[in-house]
Amino acid sequence: MRKLFYVTLLCGFLTVTMTQPIYASIHSQVSTEVEKFAQTDGVVEAKKLLSLSPTDVGLSNKEEVEQLTLGPGLQIHSIDVEKLRKSTTHSLLSVSKAEQEWEFLLEKDGQAVTSIIIGKENGNYALQRVGGDSKNFLASWEKFDDYVASKVEPTLVVDKNVRYLVGTVKNQEVAIPDLSGNRNVKLNKVNPIQVSPASEIEKALKENLEADLINQKQGESQFGSGGNLPEQTPPTNNRFTWITAGFIVIGLLVISAFKWRRRKVS
């Protein structure tokens, strides 16, 4: 009887453990006001949209969509391009700025499924985006949390749909990217699956920015607005054409005048 009691107790413990989020140490870093809206209107509206095509986020049907609950969230920061271009600090936080947007995970049975973005426009909160696979985002968040031993809350920096979780540990700024939103972004000499010094990522972003500026300048000098080389006619050909046309016109006038004079004489 006692053995059965312990078995039952163990099963109950395992059940509770398995239904808890695997990221239990990760918490929202947003205001109560924002989280309240996300928890109510945001989730309700997100479920309506996800119900139209549940398989897009790996769910089977509308019933599974209804089981989604709000997970942790972070305020979104963006890269200030001008600050990045002029930066000498090699810091991601120093070249980023806070936006009136917040990204939250949506979870089912304690597991991250997708995410939503809440924005503030004209003083009102609204659901701006829902969807996408948030597993890589969560994986990066967990690695960051493990690296800092849950003692530092990350700052979420987003640039070209790439997320960067950034924080300062022992006077060193560190970061980890999540490239799942844009696989085309290349971060030179940066390991995309581990926490690295933020200076390495800042340097890679600056190199990308400089390359973009060079490409834009070359494009402006070589291509027209439609992306094609502008048509050019050699000046010698233009000159020849106009001279030829001039001689023809003069010849016609001389012939006409000669005929008119002969007719008058006769």
pLDDT tens-digit map of 122-171: 999 999 999 988 889 999 999 999 999 888 899 999 998 899 999 999 89
Contact of 78 with 99, CB cutoff 8 Å: yes
Q: What is the pLDDT of residue 1?
A: 52
For the structural domain made of 19-221, what CATH number should be given?
Answer: 3.10.500
Checking if the pLDDT of 188 tops 90, the result is: no
Phi-psi region of 209 (alpha: psi -120 to 50; beta: other; left: phi over 0): alpha
* pTM score, whole prediction: 0.72
Alpha-carbon distance of 254 to 266, in angstroms, equals 18
Checking if the pLDDT of 113 tops 60, the result is: yes
Q: How confident is the model at residue 5 (pLDDT cuts 50, 70, 90)?
A: very low
Q: What is the pLDDT of residue 242?
A: 45
